[in-house]
Amino acid sequence: ITTKFGFALNSFCSVKMKIAVIGQSLFGQEVYKELKKDGHTIVGVFTIPDKDGKADPLATEAEKDGVAMFKFPRWRVKGQAIPEVVAQYQATGAELNVLPFCSQFIPMEVINHPKHGSIIYHPSLLPRHRGASAINWTLIHGDKKGGFTVFWADDGLDTGPILLQRECDVEPNDTVNTIYKRFLFPEGVKGTVEAVRLIAEGKAPRITQPQEGATYECIQKKENAMINWNQTAVALHNWIRGNDKVPGAWAEVDGQKVTFYGSSLVDNGTAANGQPLEIPGASQPGIITKAGLVLFGNDGKALLVKNLQFEDGKMIAAAQYFHSGSSAAVELTEEEKTFAVWQNILTNVSQIEDSTDFFKSGAASMDVVRLVEEVKLRASSCQLQNEDVYMNTTFIDFIQMCVRKLRGEDGEEELVVDYVSKNINNMTIKMPHQLFINGEFVDAQGGKTYKTINPTDGTAICDVSLAQISDVDKAVAAAKEAFEEGAWGKMNPRDRGRLIYKLANLMEQYQEELATIEALDSGAVYTLALKTHVGMSIQTFHYFAGWCDKIQGSTIPINQARPNRNLTFTKKEPIGVCAIVIPWNYPLMMLAWKTAACLAAGNTVVLKPAQVTPLTALKFAELAARAGLPKGVINILPGSGALVGQRLSDHPDVRKLGFTGSTEIGKHIMKSCAVSNVKKVSLELGGKSPLIIFSDCDMDKALRMGMSAVFFNKGENCIAAGRLFVEDTIHDQFVMKVVEEVKKMKIGDPLDRSTDHGPQNHKAHLDKLVEYCQIGVREGATLVCGGKQVQRPGFFFQPTVFTDVQDHMYIAKDESFGPIMIISKFKGSEVDDVLKRANATEYGLASGVFTRDISKALYVSERLNAGTVFVNTYNKTDVAAPFGGFKQSGFGKDLGKKNCYC
């Protein structure tokens, strides 16, 4: 063997040791399993005695493997090691003791016995925070860095030499649970096993702990956890989260001890509206709000507490403190106690406590079904759905939900909506106008607003909250938490599909109101809005609801499949937080096309509607909440592209961004997404879609479809036929018929059922259309009709027709995005020439051809460079058909079975 292979040889020939595992808990179980995988021999497991007849998880795992197991209640008496216990330990012949988590005091006769000694896992960066409450004190002190240490045991308290350390950032709102779950548990298991590998390879260091920076704080006990209110808000927050969940920071409120849980810092600019709560010693009263209890430090800054627990052990949501019958948790009658059946299902949990989490305790989807059915057997009047379990994952939340259902007190949590109401279109429409973040309608930071304008008469509809960067960060954080920790990520796909389907049905119930809001806010003709804007939106959510449990990977044949029996397969996983930025031409439909696919895959959404058309998106948010979608799954942020859209593009926690809009902005978004965190992007951008009409077409159909191809939705249509190529032998006839039809068009109020053509969406776009036509006239194109703003209140523009348009002209190349028909001639004998002219664009979204000749239709459609080619029809999109373009019309697809964001 040459020297260069020495390290590789070493790494495969490390010594396998005889190890005694001394400890307990799921952490100890995982370390034990990984040590066995590494090939070490576990000669004995020393753990705690069974509690209430239930063995510790470490003991359960060792018992399955037939490993020698010892459950000593104690190792020493009056400071002296128990000889029989030490003798049983020594008889195992252990060469190394591994203490992954151990609550017992292990005598030095055991610690020093193996030839390699003993190593211990400790959840802090020693020498800082020695002692049993290390994680608590990491948070209480507000440390920016946390982590763990594996050290060599000695006769001091966490003072032995350091073998290995790993560190992590401590987030501002981390609790013991979050930092343990995110880092200390998974990385701690890996680190402990890595430490054993280093010992086996003879590479394990012994770094003496420095005295500088060494700290030892006492074990946190209830009597020591009383809150000192004469501190800053940050210090109060750190004290509460550092004691959450054990032992719990407490204070006297209304003459009794109340413990505070679930603290988070509050934006200093956020107004707290609610009922004051006097707290002795606090610098100012707390405020009970719909979000929880707002507390104040001596610096005037605020924090928010989610839950309160009383001396008798009853826990409530802090927001419910003043509610009748809710100042304490509901008490169960003897009859009601019979359906508290978690113990029957979670057999691996020794004792069910209020804070026990159903899924973190190992429950799976089958257990959800069993739980629902067992509750029904014991209390037939308590009709549960699977999602009720996903929405109430802790025992106390689940029990209180069930009891309130039994008692008829299970009315939906009130969704507070500050509506703007209008009597219009023979109905009263109720429009939310605030941001929607984490399941609540809230004002933007600083209370900033803007006016959304009715394009029919130019008047203001209402003031809408204008999102700021801090609002974007809150929405993304809410979406991330809902994805990683909330009910949405844990939910069975079929149950998720039921909620999406319920949302679609609710949209259908409110379709007239949604269509009226769409007409009011965007100028869409009401009948079109009802059929397409809203109708296709409903179809989209129905369609993707059915895909939730059908998002599948594949198995892949590989060379090593035989004889080694290897299997390779792919899984499709949700991405996480998806940002969506949509345009103003189809405000609700564009939301649906992108959001439904995101939700079907299990993602969460932060959506920025176009600033000029936010109202149907906000109404959708209300319906999503009423359909039961969990908080944080959908967040809606009206605001500017430069601020909100840019922050979403830059945000490191956004994993995909879907955008429909201009090519110019699409390029900018793509660059920002790449620079920020290489997030995935799908872009549906501009178009200059060619429509080729041959003389052998069905003239009436070509005329009707050609008109629709241009003037549908007043030309504000991404796939609109941007340029018509009409064969010279029918050109004049076609133009004459088009002009006749244009003159019949009724321009006016979009809520009038006889209106064909409503107002353009907003003033800036109207001005652009006027300028576009002026350029066409200057270039020498023939303006056959239209080309001007209609002289009346509002943003109306005449349907317009240009002929004699040459290929070099601006209007032949640039998208109008309005009711402007651009017509050019071609000779029927020059099919390849007209194809070349049609493809001479950097866009590639849609196209069309009209001819009765099937061979010609196939020939042309195969050679048109566009994502969609319509043959003898136009504008026929369907939820099952993928939609998107290429070249500078973007990439990625909306709709269709492959468009679930995963």
| Known active-site residue 122 | yes
Residue found by looking up tokens 């109430």 in the block: 392
CA–CA gap between residue 64 and residue 62 (Å, rounded): 5
CA–CA gap between residue 769 and residue 788 (Å, rounded): 8
Catalytic option among 194, 684, 716, 727: 684
CA angle, 184 as apex, 183 and 185 as ends, to 5°? 95
Is 653 within 8 Å of 635 (Cβ atoms)?
no
Burial of 340 (0-12, 13-18, 19+ CB in 10 A): middle
Q: Is the peptide bond before 247 cis (omega within 30 degrees of 0)?
A: yes
Cα 334 from chain centroid? 41
| Known active-site residue 740 | no
| 3-state SS, residue 786 | coil
Q: Is the peptide bond before 744 cis (omega within 30 degrees of 0)?
A: no
Is 859 within 8 Å of 871 (Cβ atoms)?
no
CA–CA gap between residue 50 and residue 688 (Å, rounded): 74
CA–CA gap between residue 101 and residue 31 (Å, rounded): 10
Cross-strand bridge partners of residue 783: 802
Catalytic option among 382, 718, 773, 900: 718
Binding residues for NADP(+): 582-584, 608-611, 641-646, 661-662, 768, 815-817
Is 687 within 8 Å of 712 (Cβ atoms)?
no
Tokens of 564: 């080694």
Cβ–Cβ contacts within 10 Å for residue 334, how many?
6
Question: Which of 701, 753, 633, 742 is closest to 874 using CA atoms?
Answer: 701
Tokens of 575: 């991405």
Q: What are phi and psi of 572, to 5 degrees?
A: -100, 120
Tokens of 515: 């269509």
CA–CA gap between residue 599 and residue 608 (Å, rounded): 16
CA–CA gap between residue 170 and residue 427 (Å, rounded): 53
| 3-state SS, residue 526 | helix
Catalytic option among 40, 113, 122, 433: 122
Is 585 within 8 Å of 463 (Cβ atoms)?
no
Binding residues: 104-106, 158, 582-584, 608-611, 641-646, 661-662, 768, 815-817
Residue found by looking up tokens 């008047």 in the block: 459
User: Which amino acid is present at 633?
Assistant: V
CA–CA gap between residue 145 and residue 128 (Å, rounded): 11
| Known active-site residue 757 | no
Binding residues for (6R)-10-formyltetrahydrofolate: 104-106, 158
Tokens of 603: 């993602």
Residue found by looking up tokens 């209110």 in the block: 229
Looking at beta carbons, which pairs linking 87-95 to residues 24 or more positions away fall under 8 Å?
Answer: 89/20, 89/44, 89/46, 89/113, 92/18, 92/20, 92/43, 92/44, 92/68, 93/18, 93/43, 94/18, 94/19, 94/20, 94/43, 94/44, 95/17, 95/18, 95/19
Cβ–Cβ contacts within 10 Å for residue 426, how many?
8
> What amino acid positions are annotated as catalytic residues?
122, 684, 718
